[in-house]
A and B are shown apart, each in its own frame.
Chain A
């Protein structure tokens, strides 16, 4: 069976510090991968998606970046965090060649102080 992991589960970082959130998927190959942000009391905002290794599409301009160094690894980064980067970050995957059902990870709660 397939599983998706995210870490860390929670993170408190000062403004201006760097960020690295990791997401890995097990039990499947060549998944499409997604990063979402959910601000407090708000819906999901798609930040990045990837259809293959090294292929990243950005949905919104911001000071975050994403990378996919391996087939089942997706990383969300920032060089300098802003207060507005606080939120709940969700990683998701879907089969690349069938359906659109997305499977979500447990999320990372990021607080920027």
Chain B
């Protein structure tokens, strides 16, 4: 079935790199997404990667995709206290182009210590 798995918690020191990992099940997913949720707020799209790409870089964010292992990661360079939030991985499974449904992981809470 469709499932997206993430570790629940990550703690890093300010200035270090953070790596948040995600595994997904649908190898036919066309897009994979990373969303950020700050406390008490909705989700904001951080970045996404198309399934025919291995890597995408956007300023401090690097997304790596390993299709063989169905593994997605988000690396945040020079992590700042403002990066503290919950990060959600999401996939768009096959057959979702009409419904737009996404399958979300349970979210990884990133704690950045000063």
Contact = CB atoms under 8 A, between A and B. Distances in A.
For chain A, the bracket of interface size reads 20 to 34
Q: Is the interface of B mostly helix, strand, loop or mixed?
A: loop
A102 B44 contact: no
Nearest to B91: A100
Contacts, number: 60
Interface residues of B, number: 24
Contacts of A92: 42-43
| Residue picked from A95, A99, A109, most chain B C-beta under 10 Å | A99
B92 A100 contact: yes
Contact of B88 (A32, A43, A46, A105): A43
Interface of A: 32, 34, 42-44, 46, 49, 51, 57, 90, 92, 94-96, 99-107, 109
